[in-house]
């Protein structure tokens, strides 16, 4: 694979599983020194092991993105930062009546405050060197109304807004900021959701969810990672302040 991130440091939050792990592996395959930022040490170390097995390099930093001091300490350990991927996030299913105050608080702290923390400290580090690329994980839910995703959509809408703001404020500083907006992607969260809510009917419901995209299947974490790697690379040097759908044609239905 083209080593277009050779000599660069790429930090990925929530890199211990799912899309985050795929992103970390993709950057490592393309030559980056990957910083696996993960609240679960065990999950982070497993990602690092996979990076090493594939011939890549990286480190693990224990980071709780919802905690200001945890993020400050983590970014203070980096000598520089070329790429930041804000991937860490949590989900919630339910409408405004089902969403409880504690649900809103949990999603706010991880999805919104967590992204803010990493942008706050990450942009400051990038600004010192006059260059950097940021890719945030928003969602198709930040653009269209999806049933029973009130709290999640709220937080991903904020991620989209933060993306545009950072892109505008730092375009003259050599820092680019974009986001990707996936539809349904097959991750361990999906499997867990089906096992919990549809025991014995997992295969049937999986097929139904997969059919929700016109392309006829869910996305793969590796596909999201490939788009993010492009946006973070010099090949996308003329792109900033953009939100890229990766949704199997989902928005065609709206």
Tokens 């959509």 belong to which residue? 153
> Catalytic pick from 108, 152, 198, 244?
152
Question: How many whole angstroms separate alpha carbon 112 and alpha carbon 157?
Answer: 9
**In terms of DSSP H, where are the helices of the chain?**
18-29, 41-53, 68-76, 101-107, 114-129, 150-170, 188-197, 202-210, 221-232
Contact 188, 136 (CB under 8 A): no
Question: How many whole angstroms separate alpha carbon 51 and alpha carbon 42?
Answer: 14
Tokens of residue 211, six digits: 């059919």
Our answer to whether residue 198 is catalytic in this structure is: no
Backbone angles phi, psi at 74, to 5 degrees: -60, -50
Backbone angles phi, psi at 78, to 5 degrees: -85, 130
Residues serving a catalytic function are 152
């Amino acid at each position: 694979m083209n080593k277009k991130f050779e000599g660069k440091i790429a930090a990925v939050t929530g890199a211990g599983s799912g899309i985050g792990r795929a992103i970390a592996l993709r950057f490592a395959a393309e030559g980056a020194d990957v910083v696996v930022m993960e609240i679960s040490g065990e999950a982070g170390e497993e990602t690092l092991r996979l990076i090493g097995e594939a011939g890549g390099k990286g480190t693990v930093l224990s980071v709780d993105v919802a905690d200001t001091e945890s993020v400050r300490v983590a970014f203070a350990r980096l000598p520089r930062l070329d790429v930041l991927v804000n991937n860490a996030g949590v989900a919630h299913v339910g409408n405004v009546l089902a969403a409880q105050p504690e649900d809103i608080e949990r999603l706010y702290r991880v999805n919104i405050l967590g992204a803010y923390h990493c942008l706050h400290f990450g942009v400051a580090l990038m600004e010192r060197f006059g260059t950097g690329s940021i890719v945030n994980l928003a969602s198709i839910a930040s653009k269209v109304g999806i049933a029973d995703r009130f709290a999640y959509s709220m937080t991903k809408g904020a991620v989209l807004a933060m993306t545009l703001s950072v892109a505008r404020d730092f375009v003259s500083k050599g820092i680019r900021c974009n986001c990707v907006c996936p539809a349904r992607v097959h991750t361990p969260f999906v499997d867990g959701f089906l096992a919990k809510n549809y025991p014995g009917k997992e295969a049937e419901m999986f097929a139904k969810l997969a059919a929700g995209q016109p392309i006829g299947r869910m996305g793969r974490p590796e596909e999201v990672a490939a788009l993010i790697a492009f946006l973070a690379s010099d090949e996308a040097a003329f792109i900033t302040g953009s939100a890229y759908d990766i949704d199997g044609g989902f928005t065609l239905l709206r």
